[in-house]
Structure 1
């Protein structure tokens, strides 16, 4: 029972950085904040995506760090079309989009917290 509660708590916490925004709402927010949009492309049943939710995005410090620098959104290939004509080979894949809707960085794959922070630290 405790494991179920812990698993549910981790899922809820992982949603805090990714407030399930649409790409359009992220664009509107970007105009106000001038932050890059961070698109996480996922697929249902992707255990690497679930690992990142649990091991990276559920961490409060990391979630706040991401929200401070980016406008994070999550797009499920099973439920939504990808914006900007994006194509992915595998999930998760992360795209960082500037105010001109140009991709400034693509990061494919799942990472631990330290590596993901290192990979995203200098993106502007």
Structure 2
């Protein structure tokens, strides 16, 4: 019974996090909207990736703040083809990209909501470089 509840909870979490996963489309959208890109690289088998997606990146206030400045993109090391310029070993890996795909800032690891907001503030210092 516990296993069934765990599976249902996991499936509902996966369905709640539904970000686009096409890198080329994200670049086009970013150019069109004159926004940068927030790329999260993770895996369905990574505990901290799942925790980040289910505890932080599905929250309305976080998504709203991200969408204000960024085109959102999620690439799975298991399910997606990841362009060669992006590291896929330590995950979850956060990339902040210019609209042309140039990397502004990158870091790894789980962050709670407050830590994620602090990350966004930190990235602001690198946006104009």
SS at match of 1:57: coil
Q: How many residues align?
A: 121
Q: Once the 2 structures are TM-superposed, how far is the Cα of residue 96 of structure 1 from its aligned partner?
A: 0.9
Instruction: Report matched runs for 1:46-57 at 5 Å.
Output: 46-57=46-57
TM-score normalised by the chain length of structure 1: 0.83
Q: Is the 8 A contact 1:40 1:74 kept in 2?
A: yes
Residue 29 (structure 2) pairs with residue 29 (structure 1): yes
Distance 1:74 1:96, change over 3 A: same
Q: Is the 8 A contact 1:21 1:73 kept in 2?
A: yes
Q: Once the 2 structures are TM-superposed, how far is the Cα of residue 35 of structure 1 from its aligned partner?
A: 1.0
Q: Once the 2 structures are TM-superposed, how far is the Cα of residue 32 of structure 1 from its aligned partner?
A: 1.1
SS at match of 1:37: strand
Query: In structure 2, what is the Cα distance between the partners aligned to 1:8 and 1:80?
Result: 19
The aligned counterpart of 2:16 is 13
TM-score normalised by the chain length of structure 2: 0.80
Gaps of 5+ in 2: none
Query: In structure 2, what is the Cα distance between the partners aligned to 1:76 and 1:11?
Result: 12
Decide which structure has the larger Cα Rg and report it.
2
Query: In structure 2, what is the Cα distance between the partners aligned to 1:2 and 1:60?
Result: 25
